[in-house]
Amino acid sequence: MSIDRRAFLTKSFGGFAAGATLAAGEAQALTLARPDKVASPDAVGILYDSTLCVGCKACVAACKAANGAPAVVPATLADWNQGEWDSAEDLDGRTLNVIKAYVNGTREVKDRETDGFAFVKRHCLHCIDPSCVSVCPVSAMQKHPVSGIVTNDKDACMGCRYCSYACPFGVPQFDLTQAYGRINKCEMCGHLQAKGGIPACCDVCPTGASLFGKLTDLQKEAETRISLPAGTPHDFPRGRLGGDRPANPGQTANYLKKVYGEKDAGGTQLRYIAGVPFDKLGLPNLPNHSFAATAEGIQHTIYKWFAAPVVLFAGLLALTYRSTRKGNGGAGGDAPHSSEKS
């Protein structure tokens, strides 16, 4: 018995071509399920001015104190540091905020890319359309509808670390020192804000490098600074924008003409201005759209059109079965008998 292979392949490829045409139509329909989310009119944030930062790490110590986090001592520093001084080198499950340095060549001039140095503060950027919230399977990650602060419910968190993988800034960290590991990240000291305070890092910053306030007002302040020529006298607010603390009188730096976080990854509530390219400070070059919106769009489109590949596969199986039956003389036909020689 032999199957008519030509007929079978013709039908199969015909079905495959039809399926490919359908798939092409579906590819054209792969559009975002929703546009990027926008910040609440009352959203709060932090403006970090790298040119004002002196690297004192007062913000790191204050963050630890405000959140009850222990000191971190890397093994490379354990010989002289007996756990008395926090010397975290990067974000981890016990360090929610860290100051890092960019250095180049002779390091002679602050906030210069060549033969200079600069500081950068790293913690959660509180994305306007956060990927961590989008991927969390148990809704432990939440974004407050008014303040926009992204929080993590540690009682709900199951430690899957999806948020760590999804975050384009690598912020959420898994604390392996706990019996039951959990994710930790900056929550902009929401517990202090609830009592009328401000984030600890902004509260102790001596120069105003970390400034708390309403997001729209912080954006205006950032745009004002970067629009001024270098060396222009300027009073830099400290603590809270619009607060009653004495300002830090100084001069504007040679700023990059961009506010990082205004549009990057759909926008963030931590905004940066600096004199050194942001990628040199460890801030990635990202598109202006939200990764969460794109991922959800693809996911929803796949679910929406999931029936098409199922139908195509079923069709190919049906063609295969029918061709096989035809080659065998039909389901009711007798199977071929082998001839016996007497």
Q: Determine which helix (DSSP H) or strand (DSSP E) holds 120, and give its type and residue range.
A: strand 116-122
Rounded-to-integer distance, Cα 130 and Cα 132, Å:
5
Rounded-to-integer distance, Cα 255 and Cα 165, Å:
32
Task: At 73, list the tokens.
Answer: 């001592």
DSSP helix, strand, coil percent of the chain (3-state; round to 5): 30, 15, 50
User: 185, 171 in Cβ contact below 8 A?
Assistant: yes
Query: Which of 173, 285, 213 minimizes the C-alpha distance to 49?
Result: 213
CA–CA distances in Å: residue 4 to residues 16, 31, 122, 326:
18, 43, 67, 9
Per-residue confidence (pLDDT) for residue 340, from 0 to 100: 47
Query: Which of 82, 34, 88 minimizes the C-alpha distance to 60?
Result: 88
Secondary structure (3-state) at 13 = helix
* Exposure b/e, 278-292, CB count within 10 A at least 16 = b: beebebeebeebbbb
Give me the DSSP letters along 193-236.
HTTT---HHHHH-SSSSEEEEEHHHHHHHHHHHHHSPTT-EEEE
The one-letter code for the residue type at 43 is A
Q: Where are the beta strands (DSSP E) in 229-291?
A: 233-236, 239-240, 248-251, 270-273
Per-residue confidence (pLDDT) for residue 322, from 0 to 100: 79
In order along its 342 residues, the chain shows pLDDT tens digits of 444 555 544 444 444 444 444 444 444 334 555 789 999 999 999 999 999 999 999 999 999 999 998 888 776 666 666 655 677 889 998 899 999 999 999 999 999 999 999 999 999 999 999 999 999 999 999 999 999 999 999 999 999 999 999 999 999 999 888 777 789 999 999 999 999 999 999 999 999 999 999 999 999 999 999 999 999 999 999 999 999 999 999 999 999 999 999 999 999 999 999 999 999 999 999 999 999 988 887 766 665 656 667 667 777 788 887 777 766 655 444 444 544 444
Per-residue confidence (pLDDT) for residue 299, from 0 to 100: 66
Cα-to-chain-centroid distance, residue 342: 81
The one-letter code for the residue type at 81 is N
Rounded-to-integer distance, Cα 85 and Cα 66, Å:
16
Q: Is 212 left (phi over 0), alpha (psi -120 to 50) or beta?
A: beta
Cα angle at 308 between 166 and 19, to 5 degrees?
110
Q: pTM value?
A: 0.79
Per-residue confidence (pLDDT) for residue 30, from 0 to 100: 41
Radius of gyration of the chain (CA): 29
How many separate helices (H) and strands (E) can be counted in the chain?
Answer: 9, 13
Query: Which of 324, 320, 323 minimizes the C-alpha distance to 16?
Result: 320
Task: At 185, list the tokens.
Answer: 């990240």
